[in-house]
Homo-oligomer: A and B are copies of this chain.
Amino acid sequence: MNTSEFRRRGKEMVDYVANYMEGIEGRQVYPDVEPGYLRPLIPDSAPQEPDTFEDIINDIEKIIMPGAASPACTELETVMMDWLGKMLELPEAFLTEKAGEGGGVIQGSASEATLVALLAARTKAIHRLQAASPELTQAAIMEKLVAYSSDQAHSSVERAGLIGGVKLKAIPSDGNFAMRASALREALESDRAAGLIPFFVVATLGTTTCCSFDNLLEVGPICNKEDMWLHVDAAYAGSAFICPEFRHLLNGVEFADSFNFNPHKWLLVNFDCSAMWVKKRSDLTGAFRLDPTYLKHSHQDSGKLKPAFNIFLTDGPFHVLFQHWQIPLGRRFRSLKMWFVFRMYGVKGLQAYIRKHVQLSHEFESLVLQDPRFEICAEVTLGLVCFRLKGSNKVNEALLQRINSAKKIHLVPCHLRDKFVLRFAICSRTVESAHVQRAWEHIKELAADVLRAEKE
């Protein structure tokens, strides 16, 4: 949407809200709809081509308003998570519509998704071990539980371990910064020999440092065989999997118990919107479920759900009560953002957006490769280019300092093993080739200054 259409549509939305407020006394305080009303009213997958803004707004009045915040909020979320799951070609076990055991939920951040997965895995492991050995206390089990992730995993994984009160071990990644079977197996063997209980593995697709990919096809089967929960964190890279040419990067997700990525990072949905799927939703609800009277509703135990009484505690079909899927109790209506974005761009528009960013990062990569003073430090797969001046960390730190002090572009560095590395990330909605070219000219100039200063 360009700014002139934004001006028009934005003002229409302001009037929509004002009209709603003016007419609110004429509305019913509670919806008439029955649970499950929403899904039949909308398509079962995202449109390939964009819908018009009029179509979307008309659907808001026709489909959302009669269902108010509850149950519409939960129901739209289950459908949008199915739409998105299908865009990624997730295995059917993760979708809600099949009335199976899985489903998707919007979390606030990948950190929360990792924590929720770890807590569910912890509860499951404790139940399993106590079923086998009823004399074991929870504390005795927790003391022995070990979680694993690659040494390239995001710090939020370590934090989830801290919060969950379990050990977390870093598996040394290979030359491509990927977790592989051999290193994981080695850790498992030595930990089991020491009496510990491996229970949880986080595999990262698209690490924060250099966008490397853990080897899911190797790691997944080990997790399944060893009865460890596998959580796949694709916070950044996940958006790219809507393109068939990048979908192979997700191969092996069929081994996962939970999968998460952030549409707010790279799929044009405003912050926050972190999409999480589980194969068995009772694993989540088992970890969190409590039912005080004031959260009960009329048909909760009868197998027939009614809309919840509280606008933030919303129910959907198939016994979906998202309050049991997450840390907070309250929820915002975040699936509306997904609905608008998916329809206004269409799947093709979103694919084109991803492809453009990947193409621009390869354009930057080739510029770097043409300059013998520089090196590329990790394979460029999506929108991130890790590069540096050949030479010391000191000279690269000096270059970063100059770049960020000039304030024309902004780079966030990382360490890859012992190397200080600069990261060029394509991430703006409006980025064009001209920006990339200009940024590279600017970097080259500053690099020349740095190298000159070094010689003096």
Contact = CB atoms under 8 A, between A and B. Distances in A.
Interface stretch (A38-46, A187-195, A407-415): A407-415
A99 interface: no
B293 A415 contact: yes
B21 A413 contact: no
B29 A6 contact: no
A188 B122 CA distance: 29
A275 B132 CA distance: 44
Chain A contact-residue range equals: 35 or more
A11 B309 CA distance: 34
A111 interface: yes
Contacts of A291: 155
Interface stretch (A87-95, A139-147, A240-248): A139-147
Contact of A414 (B115, B293, B430): B293
Most buried by B among A288, A401, A404, A408: A404
Given A112-B327, A271-B312, A328-B109, A6 B30 contact: no
Contact of A409 (B29, B162, B163, B294): B29
Contacts of A122: 165
Contacts of A156: 329
Interface string A311-352: 010000000000000011110100000000000000000000
A10 interface: yes
A14 B1 CA distance: 14
A165 B138 CA distance: 8
B309 A163 contact: no
A137 interface: yes
A165 B126 CA distance: 11
Given A290-B155, A410-B30, A111 B327 contact: yes
Interface in A371-418: 401, 404, 407-410, 412-415
A22 interface: yes
28 contacts: A4-B18, A10-B14, A10-B17, A10-B18, A11-B11, A13-B14, A29-B410, A30-B404, A108-B328, A108-B330, A109-B330, A111-B329, A112-B327, A112-B328, A142-B165, A154-B292, A155-B290, A155-B292, A156-B329, A163-B164, A163-B327, A209-B293, A271-B312, A271-B332, A272-B330, A293-B415, A294-B413, A309-B412
Interface of A: 3-4, 6-7, 10-11, 13-15, 17-18, 21-22, 24, 28-30, 32, 108-109, 111-112, 115, 119, 122, 137-140, 142-143, 154-156, 158-159, 162-165, 208-209, 271-272, 287-288, 290-295, 298, 309-310, 312, 327-330, 332, 401, 404, 407-410, 412-415, 430
Given A29-B409, A139-B139, 15 more contacts: A3-B21, A7-B15, A13-B14, A30-B410, A108-B108, A108-B330, A109-B328, A137-B143, A140-B143, A155-B295, A162-B287, A163-B327, A272-B332, A298-B401, A327-B327
List of 10 A-B pairs having minimum Cβ-Cβ separation, nearest first = A139-B143, A10-B14, A109-B328, A30-B407, A155-B292, A3-B18, A155-B290, A165-B165, A293-B415, A11-B11
